[in-house]
Structure 1
Amino acid sequence: MNNMTELNFDEERIKQLFKSALIEVIQEQKEVFSDLLAEIIEDIALEKAIKEGEDTESVSRDAIFKILGNKG
């Protein structure tokens, strides 16, 4: 094997080892990754809601409380 072939093999082997290790960590820490993913999704949704809200007209505090069922 020449050096280039060895290098490509080593890179491919490193990628496979990294993938295996990452999958193992995710499987062992499902709850942590699930919480992290949920937090990321919430952040994306909040960012989208804020951007959408910037393009809508303002609503009074009283109107919001009426919608919520509180008079006040």
Structure 2
Amino acid sequence: MVTEQYPELKVNQTYIKTMDAVQTFENMVRTSRLIYNDSVTKLNREIRMFPVSVIAGMLGFRQRDYLEEQAAEQDND
């Protein structure tokens, strides 16, 4: 939205570098969320199996929730 009001901002090198850094960060967060959710899936599956479930319960292991992507209202210009 800001770039629509200030077209010269789109050609500013600092702005371009900053937007690239933001995009890189968002991709890293997305990748980390996928890795975490994969690990949670494996953990939850193991905790439900019989011999592991008894020991996991005694040691305080509980099923974990997935990380959800939060809906961001952004203008991707």
Q: What TM-score do you get using the length of structure 1 for normalisation? A: 0.44
Structure with more helix by fraction: 1
Q: What TM-score do you get using the length of structure 2 for normalisation? A: 0.42
Structure of larger gyration radius: 1
